[in-house]
Amino acid sequence: MRILPAIDLKDGICVRLRQGEYDSVYQVARDAVQTARSFLKDGAQLIHMVDLDGAKDGVGKNRAVIQRVMAETGAAVELGGGIRSLEDLEQVFSLGVSRAVIGSAAVENPDLVCRAVELYGEKIAVGLDVRGGTVRTQGWREDSSADYLEFARKMEAFGVKTLIFTDIETDGMLTGPNLKALSQLQEAVSCGIVASGGISSLADLRALKELGIPEVIVGKAVYSGDVDLKAAIALGVE
């Protein structure tokens, strides 16, 4: 199981949100480059970065910071937020991003996913941002009414190999992951699943590993100290 520490950016600053609410934003680190170096020192192989401004407004405002992180640390980066066209994908891959996450656009423009998979294959992931069983868009503010399992099956049929499942109700709350929803997703598709939301302890990570989840994003728990990243990474490779 691979552990992906998270860096969320708003206005160039490392922040976290609670349940995706933008009015809950708070700073968690001084500098994205320093944070990434710390993650790499602890053994991270891939860093999950989110452009929160892009997720909300559709404009990638933090790409210069993301480019700095990769250029100055050599980090491999998975990027989400504001990727809504083939031009956006071309831009982020030209920066050196290892995997791009299509979120809102996968719901609103499924043809984009088909074309993206044709062009970039396994470098494309689709984000399932879920609340109450349906997929949310526009920085989690809008309810698409699409059932997350049906949507996941549709993405798999398009050739998507990686789905990033975020349980919005647990995100940033340190209340534990939604194991039931993740288990249902595993039964519905054969895609690789990246679990996100609610991770609060090594025990949570063990539970996800026992479930067979191949990748896990850890955000708030790393910054709060509830999860020691080095220990988490060691657990993942045991």
Query: Domain tally for the chain?
Result: 1
Strands (E), 112-222: 124-131, 134-137, 142-147, 162-167, 192-196, 215-218
Question: Which has the minimum average pLDDT: 6-20, 40-54, 84-98?
Answer: 6-20
pLDDT beyond 90 at 88:
yes
pLDDT beyond 70 at 20:
no
| Structural domain span for residue 84 | 2-237
pLDDT, one tens digit per residue, over 33-61 is 999 999 999 999 999 999 999 887 777 78
> Does residue 129 carry a catalytic annotation?
yes
CA separation, residue 106 to residues 47, 154, 203 (Å): 22, 10, 33
CATH code where residue 67 lies: 3.20.20.70
Question: Which has the minimum average pLDDT: 14-28, 96-110, 150-164, 171-185?
Answer: 14-28
> Does residue 88 carry a catalytic annotation?
no
If you average pLDDT over residues 212-232, what whole number do you get?
96
Q: How confident is the model at residue 137 (pLDDT cuts 50, 70, 90)?
A: confident
Write down the catalytic residue from 8, 51, 167, 204: 8
Write down the catalytic residue from 53, 88, 129, 171: 129
